[in-house]
Chains A and B, each alone.
Chain A
């Protein structure tokens, strides 16, 4: 097949010269953006999974400590602290304070206390407050 002079000229000049440096750089940048996006998405997913785990531990520990405080309440007016390193990775703070409450006739109801429990696992926290007698 005969090639016209125009075809030969095109081939020799523009069409088969490969990519310019600018094109390659743009392609690399797009590729790096995609890879970075993937890495960020992966990191976020792992972070979320870790937070879910910590939140789950916080809640489970809160329920356990609520049960424990029913049987062994902390001393009134002082805080009982369990450090995370000694309490399977969950920090606990419990305190019991007198809770003044008036009944319908404006009289003080004696003997009521407020129990507050705070749990912390990593950077997730949870807390509960109950009024006991």
Chain B
């Protein structure tokens, strides 16, 4: 029979099981706290970046749309039509007719500008700008309406256009949801929509220059 002998050298006893478990526990706590902070910071940074991107796109969209309204010439028209999208869903289309120039650049001008809310497979919509050339044939018109266009604002839900025609009897503004083709020019156009990354709904009011 072999007998094991342990030589105890002073100062070389090593750690006890309790010490090892305790130190591992502390290490685990520290590692968990570092992991929690790092992972939450990464998540928050990503959310913040997404929000910044959305805000920047919203800002650019509002600037482009305000510019389109402000550059509407005297004979320009404003109307809202409901079209059917490729999936059969209703697609509100704001039509700025007889525009002379786009965004104040006459060389791009002529025809109509259409702001349409294209439905996407994930249930959101993308507000897209289409340009319909002046004096286009039916085929050209159809091609222009089905063109990809310029996507201005993605991840939009429930876009609602309304138009200010005047005041109600009690002096409150009379917003109308419908503004068919042939209507006179509204005083103001309002767009209300929800965006996934923004908790509150977004509302923008566009000034339509009056006809002099």
Interface residues of A (CB under 8 A from B): 11-13, 16-18, 31, 35, 38-39, 42, 45-46, 49, 52-53, 56-57, 60, 63-68, 70-72, 87-89
Asked if A35 contacts B34 (CB within 8 A), the reply is yes
Asked if B33 contacts A35 (CB within 8 A), the reply is yes
Give the number of chain B interface residues (Cβ < 8 Å). 37
Asked if B187 contacts A71 (CB within 8 A), the reply is yes
Bound Cα distance A68, B189 (Å): 9
Contacts of A13 in B (CB 8 A): 11
Q: Report which of B11, B52, B200 forms a contact with A12, defined as CB distance below 8 A.
A: B11
Asked if A11 contacts B9 (CB within 8 A), the reply is yes
Chain B interface secondary structure, helix, strand, loop or mixed? Answer: mixed
Interface residues of B in 43-83 (CB under 8 A from A): 44-45, 48, 51-52, 55, 58-59, 62, 66
Q: Which of B84-92, B101-109, B148-156, B201-209 has 4 or more CB atoms under 8 Å from chain A?
A: B201-209
Known: A49-B51, A56-B55. A39 touches B66 (CB 8 A): no
Contacts of A60 in B (CB 8 A): 58-59, 62, 202, 204
Bound Cα distance A65, B198 (Å): 20
A67 (CB) vs chain B CBs: closest residue:
B207
Bound Cα distance A39, B41 (Å): 8
Write the nearest CB–CB distance from B81 to chain A, whole angstroms.
Answer: 23
Asked if A12 contacts B9 (CB within 8 A), the reply is yes
Asked if B188 contacts A88 (CB within 8 A), the reply is no
B207 (CB) vs chain A CBs: closest residue:
A67
Asked if B204 contacts A64 (CB within 8 A), the reply is yes
Contacts of B37 in A (CB 8 A): 35, 38-39, 42
Asked if B201 contacts A88 (CB within 8 A), the reply is yes
Q: Taking A45-B44, A56-B55 as given, write out 10 further A-B residue pairs in contact, using a Cβ cutoff of 8 Å, ordered by the A residue number.
A: A12-B10, A35-B34, A46-B48, A60-B58, A71-B207, A72-B187, A88-B200, A88-B201, A88-B203, A89-B200
